[in-house]
Amino acid sequence: MEGALVAAARFVADKVAILVQLDAKLKAMTGIEEKMEKLKEMSTIIDLVIEDVESHPLNKDAVKDLLRKLKYLAYDLEDAVDYYDTKVFQKKQRSNTSFGLVSDFISSDNQVLFNSRVGCMIEAVTDSLDSILLQKSILLNLPQSSSHLSLYPYSETHSLNGFDVIGREPEKNNIVNILTNDDDEGSSHSTLRVIAIVGMGGLGKTTLAQLVFNDEMVQDHFASLTMWKVVGAEFNPTKIMKSILELATGEPGNISEIDLVKQKLKKELSGKRFLLVLDDVWNEDPVKWRILKAALTFGARGSKILVTTRSQQVSSIMDSSYIHQIKQLSQTDCLILFQNFAFGDKEENRTLMEIGAKIVEKCGGVPLAVISLGNTLRNTGDETYWSSVLNSEIMQLRYMEEKVLAVLKWSYDTLPPRSKKCFAFASLYPKNSRMKKDELIKLWIANGFVRSEKSFDAETLANDVFDDLVRRSFFLLAPSRNFKYFSYGTEYTMHDLMHDLARSVSANVYWHSEQDSVEDIGNRTYHLQIYIRGESCMTQVLDKKPLNLRTFMPFRFYRQSYLSINLLQVISDSELKFLRALDLSSSGISEVPTSIGNLIHLRYLNLYNNGIEVLPDSITLLSNLQYLNLILNFNFRELPKELGNMQNLRVLDLQRHHSQIDIHMPCGLSRLTNLRSLPVFFAGNRTGACSILELENLKLHGEMQIKFSKDFKNYSCGGKKILKNKDLNDLLIEFNNLERYDKDMLDDLCPDTSLKELIIKNYGSPQFPTWLMELQLPNLVEVCLENCGGCEHIPPFGNLQFLEKLVLTAMDVITDLGAEFHGYRSFPSRQELILNRMNNLEEWPDSHDGDNQLFPKLHSLHIFDCPKLNAEISYNPRAYYNQL
C-alpha cells in the first residue's frame, strides 16, 4: 500500500489529497492497530511533502512556518509509531521469555493505559495535520519544481588534496622561504616571529597553511617540533597553552594549575626551534595575546608562529613581522579547479564548459565557491540547468561574502533529503570541533536519518552519505593528532562558513550551550549538547522541559573534576522519554540506575571512560538499543544475563587497555542477530557463560579480540571454523598458556582470508596449526606473536607478499631465524621488524639464496633484549638497529 501511495504522489497536489484522505480515515477508525498503519502511511507522505517544499525558495514567512509545522509533525509521527512498535515488540518478548522484568514492565503499563497514551499521541497528530491542512492552499500554490539534479553520490572518487592546491604554489613558496630564513638570528629581534595569512572566508587560508606546514623544507627546518592548533572564536590563553603542551609532549595533559602548565611548557620549548600554526584566530584583545605569547618565548631563535585569520586587526595586535594577504585565484586557476570537480574523469562537454567558465567568472576567485558549484553541477549534464544557475539571483549578488554564503546554501539545497538531515546534525558541534566519522554515523542512524534499505545496511548507506559530504566539501579532513602512545585517528571538521550554514538550516531544532541561550530551549528542541560547568547547568536545562529531546550530549567542561551527581540517574528519572541518543562519556558515572529501562526509544548509549562495574538487568528493556559503548570502564566485570533480549544491538564495545579483570559474558549472544561489531569477546568458565560457539552465525566485521580467562578449559569447538564467515580486518587471540588445548582452539579460530592484522598472545602449544604454518591468510599486513614461549617453529612469514610489520616477543624456544622463516619471497614488503625478549635467539643469516636481498623495503629494525644474538645486521642501509 505504501509503495502505491508513493507512486501516485507525483505532485504536491497529489500528496495533499492523500493526506486529506488519510486524515478522514484516521478519524473514522476505532482500532489502535489499524490507526497505526495509517500513521505509517502518513509519515511517508509527510516526508515527501517536506522534500517538495524544501525544493522551492523559502523566501516567504508563511512557507517557512508551514515547513516548520510539517517537520514537527514528522517528528510526532515517528515518536507515535516508535512507541507503539516498541510496546508491541516487548509484549511479544514477554510471551517468549521467562524474564520477569519484561513481564512486570508491560503489565504495569497495562492495556488501558497503553491505549490511552497511544490515543493521545494519535489525537495530537491529527490536530497538527488539521492545522496544516487549513494552510493547504500554500502547498497547492507552490510552483511545480523544475527538473531535479541527480541526488545520488558520484560514482567516481578523487583526491581533494591535489585539486585544492591549484594556483597556490607561488604563495606557498614565498611563506616557506620566510619561515625557513633565519637571517635575523644574530639580530636583536625577538626569538619568536609571527607570520600571518589574512583573507576573507573561503579563499583557502587554512589550505595554504597546510601546504606550508607539510612542506618538506619546513618539516626539516623545524625538525625539533611542529604543532598545529585550531583556535576559533574563543581565545582562552589557558586552554590554548594546555593544548600546545599536549602537542609538544605528545601526551594528553591532565594539569589544571596554570603555573605548572607554564613551567612544563617552558621546559618542552626550551632550546627547540619550533613552528606553531594558530589556525582561524579571531581574537582582537592584545592583552590575551600577550599572555599567550609570554608562555611561548622560550624556544630557540628561529621559532615561528604562523597565523591564519580573516581580520587585519588580529595580525596587527599579534605584532606580525610579515602579513601575507592571500590572493583570489586567477580565472585560469579557478577554471581548472572547477573542471576537476564538475567533470572529474569524465569527458568535458564543450557547451557546459563555456557556461561553466561564465559561472566561474562570477565566483570572484573564491575557491570554496568554485568547489561547491563544481561539486553540485557534477551530478547533471543538463545545459538548461547550468544556464539557470548562471543567470540565478545568486550569481547577481554584489558582495562576494554574501555570494559565497548563497552558493553554499544552494549546494545544500541540492543535497538528498537524508544528507540534509545528516549535515544539519553537525551544527550540534561548536565551530572548529573535530568529528569522528564512526560516531557521527552511529548518531545519524540512531536518530533515523539513515535507515537500512533492501540489500544495504544502514552503516553502509550512512558511510556513503558521509563520504559524499566530504567530496562536496561540506566536511573537511582535520589535521592529524598523533601522540606518543596513541593516535586520535582520522578526524573531520567544517569550514567556518559551512558551520554557519549548518546553524542556519538547523534553526531551533538544535541547541548548543557554547552558541545558544538557555532561554532558547523549548518543547521543540530535539538535539542538545551542553558543556557542564556545574550542577546548576543540568538543572537549568531540565527545567526548560525539552520533552521531545532526541539527542542529549552533556560533557564536562575541559577536564573539570567529576560532578557529584549521577547524570544518568537524573536523565533516566526525568521526563525525557523520547531520547534516542545519549552521550555520557567521561562523566564520572560509577553506577547505571535501574530506571535506565524507562528510556525505551534509546538507540545510542555512550558510557565511554567511566567507573561502571555492572549493568542492571533493566537495561535489557532497551529493545531498540543499537550502539552500546563501554570502552575504558576498567573495572567492568559483568553483562546482564538477558543480554540476548537486546536483539537490535549492532555494536557492543567493551575494549579496555591493560585491565586484568575478565568480563562475564552471558549465554544468549547468538540471539543478537543484528550484531555487527563485537571488538572484545571474553571466553570464561563461569556458570552461564557464553560459549565461543555462539559467535558462529554472527555477521561480525572490523576488529575483534578473543580473550580466554585464566581458568578456561572447555577448548572444544567440534572442528567448527567459527570465524570463517566474519569480515574481520584485525584479530587478536589471547590464550592462557594451557598448552594441551591451545592448538586445537587456534585451529578452530582460523579467520577469513580477508584478515589484515593478526596478534596471538600467550599461546602455549609447541606447534601452530596448519592454517598459520601454511600461510592461508595471504592479505596479512601486520603480525605479532607475543609470549608464545613453547613454540618451536615460526611460520615462513617471508612468503607473505603484503606483510609490512612483524613483531616477535618472548619466544624462548626459538634459537635461529633461518631459511624456513624467510621463505622463498624474502619479505618483499617488510618495512618494520621488531625482535623483543628473544632470550635464546642466536643465529640469523644475513643473506638468502645468493643474490636475493632480505627485507628489500625495510626501514625500521628494532632489537631489544636478545642477549645471545651475535649476528651482524647488514640488510639495508636505511634500517635502524637498536640492540639493548
DSSP for 177-192 reads: HHHH--GGGGSSS-SE
Most confident listed range (147-156, 493-502, 695-704): 695-704
Which grid coordinates are listed for 275? 613552528
Strand bridging mode 322-325 / 476-477: unpaired
- Locate the domains of the chain by residue range: 2-140, 168-325, 329-413, 417-504
Maximum distance among all Cα pairs of the chain, rounded to whole angstroms = 91
Q: What is the dihedral of CA 373, 378, 384, 387, to 10 degrees?
A: 30
Please give the Cα distance from 472 to 466 (Å, whole number). 10
pLDDT of residue 755: 95
Q: How do residues 520-539 score in pLDDT, each as one tens digit?
A: 888 899 999 988 766 677 77
pLDDT band at 407 (very low <50, low <70, confident <90, very high): confident
pLDDT of residue 834 exceeding 60, the answer is: yes
- Architecture per CATH, 168-325: 3-Layer(aba) Sandwich (3.40)
CATH, range 329-413: 1.10.8
Helix (H) or strand (E) holding 324: strand 322-325
pLDDT of residue 515 exceeding 50, the answer is: yes
pTM value? 0.83
pLDDT of residue 9 exceeding 60, the answer is: no
Strand bridging mode 527-532 / 551-556: parallel
Which residue has better confidence, 154 or 639? 639
Arithmetic mean of pLDDT, 563-590: 83
Mean pLDDT of the chain: 84
The tally of CA atoms less than 13 A away on the side-chain side of residue 133 is 16
**C-alpha angle with apex 444: 442 to 449, nearest 5 degrees?**
140
Q: How do residues 418-448 score in pLDDT, each as one tens digit?
A: 999 999 999 999 888 899 999 999 999 999 9
Question: b/e string for 229-241 if b means 16 or more Cβ within 10 A?
Answer: bbbbeebebeebb
Please give the Cα distance from 717 to 708 (Å, whole number). 14
pLDDT of residue 827 exceeding 90, the answer is: no
pLDDT of residue 653 exceeding 90, the answer is: yes
Q: Which of these ranges, 384-393, 479-488, 874-883, has the smallest mean pLDDT?
A: 874-883
CA nearest neighbour of 645 among 157, 86, 181, 123: 86
Helices 417-425 and 32-54: angle between axes, nearest 10 degrees = 90
pLDDT band at 5 (very low <50, low <70, confident <90, very high): very low
With cell 549546494, the residue in question is 411
pLDDT of residue 710: 82
Question: b/e string for 791-812 if b means 16 or more Cβ within 10 A?
Answer: beebbbbbbbeebbbbbbbbbe
- Rg (Cα) of the chain, in Å, rounded? 31
Cβ atoms of residues 212 and 259 within 8 Å: no
Which grid coordinates are listed for 601? 526509544
CB-based contacts of 759: which residues, under 8 Å, 6+ apart?
730, 731, 732, 733, 783, 784, 786
Q: How do residues 761-806 score in pLDDT, each as one tens digit?
A: 999 889 999 999 888 899 999 999 999 988 988 998 888 888 899 9
**Taking the mean position of all CA atoms in its chain, how far away is CA 868?**
47
Please give the Cα distance from 393 to 878 (Å, whole number). 60
pLDDT of residue 30 exceeding 50, the answer is: yes
pLDDT band at 878 (very low <50, low <70, confident <90, very high): very low
- Architecture per CATH, 417-504: Orthogonal Bundle (1.10)
pLDDT band at 159 (very low <50, low <70, confident <90, very high): very low
pLDDT band at 484 (very low <50, low <70, confident <90, very high): low
Please give the Cα distance from 868 to 855 (Å, whole number). 22
Please give the Cα distance from 836 to 840 (Å, whole number). 11
Strands annotated E in 510-558: 510-512, 527-532, 551-556
As separate numbers, helices (DSSP H) first and strands (DSSP E) second, the chain gives 30, 22
pLDDT of residue 559: 47
Helix (H) or strand (E) holding 109: none
Which residue has better confidence, 820 or 790? 790
**C-alpha angle with apex 288: 282 to 291, nearest 5 degrees?**
135
Most confident listed range (6-10, 421-425, 590-594, 823-827): 421-425
Which grid coordinates are listed for 27? 478519524
With cell 547547568, the residue in question is 537
Please give the Cα distance from 123 to 115 (Å, whole number). 12
pLDDT band at 143 (very low <50, low <70, confident <90, very high): low
Arithmetic mean of pLDDT, 642-651: 94
Q: How do residues 51-65 score in pLDDT, each as one tens digit?
A: 888 877 666 788 888
CA nearest neighbour of 58 among 70, 44, 75, 45: 70
pLDDT of residue 105 exceeding 60, the answer is: no
Cβ atoms of residues 555 and 584 within 8 Å: no
Question: b/e string for 762-788 if b means 16 or more Cβ within 10 A?
Answer: bbbbeebbebbeebebeebbbbbbbbb
pLDDT band at 723 (very low <50, low <70, confident <90, very high): very high
